[in-house]
Structure 1
Amino acid sequence: MTSLPTSYMRAILGPRDAALDAVLRESLLEHGMPTIQVDDNAGRVLQLLTMLRRPRRALEIGTLFGYSTIHIARGLPEGGQLTTLEMDPEAAGLARRNLRAAGVEDRVEVVVGDALEHLAAVPKASLGMAFIDADKKSYPAYLKAVYPLLEPGALLIADDAFAEGDFSAESEADADPERETKAIHAYNRAVCRSPRLFSAFIGTENGLMVSYKG
């Protein structure tokens, strides 16, 4: 699949704002975080979808240093809350600092630990939106765990839907690219063939799969 050239999107959308620019500079250059955050257009799409859906409760699986988290938090309605799940305590700590710097920390809870364990305790039909951007091999498991937590009319969004690139930085040391690619394809097939979801690709740099729960 192809998408618009990044240079064209940057020229049309204009430069990112100062807060986001500072988050990227500090996280990537000063802290050496991997450059696996969502691209700028994908971040804007996440914020736009959040603004349109206006979820009271949203969930993110895979915080990293909080770049996508900031975009989702910016799109929340007044009183809306986002819970973001991260396995790495160091990344979670940096994300909290970035959220504070971006002025959205009051809307976000950063939870450190295993995502599936946390999801098991979330009330059913309590989420208006969920975003998945963590280890790719677990996408089918995340789908199974998250689906019952979505309320009717909720949005389910997954990053890296084009199943292209190197996902090793988002997985453990024994990452298997073929296994992870197959897992993304399995996720895509499941949401697109489900009679309970309406799904479509959005052509960001790595592809977003957006699903609506009827």
Structure 2
Amino acid sequence: MDDILRRSLLDDRLPTIQVDDNAARILQLLTQLTRPQYVLEVGTLFGYSTIHLARGLPAGGRVTTLEIDEATAQVARRNLEAAGVSDRVDVVVGDALEYLADLPAEGFGLIFIDADKKSYPLYLRHCFPLLESGGLLIADDAFALGDYGTERDPNGDAELEAQGIHTFVRAVGRSPRLFSAFIGTESGLMISRKE
């Protein structure tokens, strides 16, 4: 994994906004424990979290990961190959909300969201119906103050991004169909189980 991080961050000059190592290990552990056949990831970047999700899959399991940028998706595909998990992962390039709108209900046992922050409430609206009963919905960057540092879009509105996270966290916390808990990783993971 060190080679993948070094190559992606230094050679490919991608931003250092991937999940931290502890969060990645938690994702892998949760995938191992829940054994979902199908995992959906919203936000691939260079595939660091994708690799951990794929490593946690049961036999025959698959990860579908969504990335908006083709060049970044190519880096992710290379990294998935290097990590030996490319046979378990489908990298889809395009607008995540458009893709999510066409998926069948309750098709995923685990969904991980780590994409543009202002869209978190929209991702929740689209992903909730896609999650199986008993499945896990996990969101990165869930710190209550919206403190996700380097992940802020320099061209975006930091207030809108923080508001998106706040809205997401409040919504999953109040939902009668989700049982949620916060895990204090570097940027915070909000983990919700669909009742």
Under TM normalisation by the shorter chain, which class is it? over 0.9
Please tell me whether residue 62 in structure 1 is matched to residue 43 in structure 2: yes
TM-score by length of 1: 0.88
**Aligned 1:23-172 pairs, distance under 5 A:** 23-162=4-143, 163-166=146-149, 171=153
Instruction: Name the CA distance, whole Å, in 2 between partners of 1:167 and 1:134.
Output: 13
Matched residues in 2 for 1:91 and 1:66: separation? 9
Partner of 1:13: none
> Any runs of at least 4 consecutive aligned residues in structure 1 with deviations exceeding 6 A, and if so which?
none
Q: Displacement, 1:66? A: 0.2
Across the aligned residues of Structure 1 and Structure 2, the Cα RMSD in angstroms comes to 1.0
1:122-151 Cα offsets, whole Å, 9 max, x none, are 110111000000000000000000000111
Offset of 1:37 from its aligned partner? 0.4
What secondary structure is seen at the aligned counterpart in 1 of 2:149? coil
Post-superposition CA distance 1:23-59 (Å, at most 9, x none): 0010001111100000000000000000011000110
Unpaired segments of 5 or more residues in structure 2? none
Q: Distance in 1 between matches of 2:158 and 2:150?
A: 7
Task: Indicate conservation of the 8 Å contact 1:167/1:177, yes or no.
Answer: no
Residue segments in structure 1 that go unaligned for 5+ positions in a row: 1-19
Deviations 1:166-185 (A, max 9, x none): 3555x4x6311111001100
Structure 1 pair 159/168, CA: closer, same or farther in 2 (3 Å)?
A: closer
TM-score normalised by L of structure 2: 0.97
Bigger Rg, structure 1 or 2: 1
Q: Give me the whole-angstrom Cα distance separating, in 2, the residues matched to 1:48 and 1:168.
A: 24
Q: Is the CA contact 1:168–1:177 (under 8 Å) kept in the aligned structure 2?
A: no
Task: Report the equivalent of 2:161.
Answer: 180
Deviations 1:89-132 (A, max 9, x none): 11100000000000000000000000011111111011100000
Give the fraction of aligned pairs with identical amino acids, expressed as a percent: 64
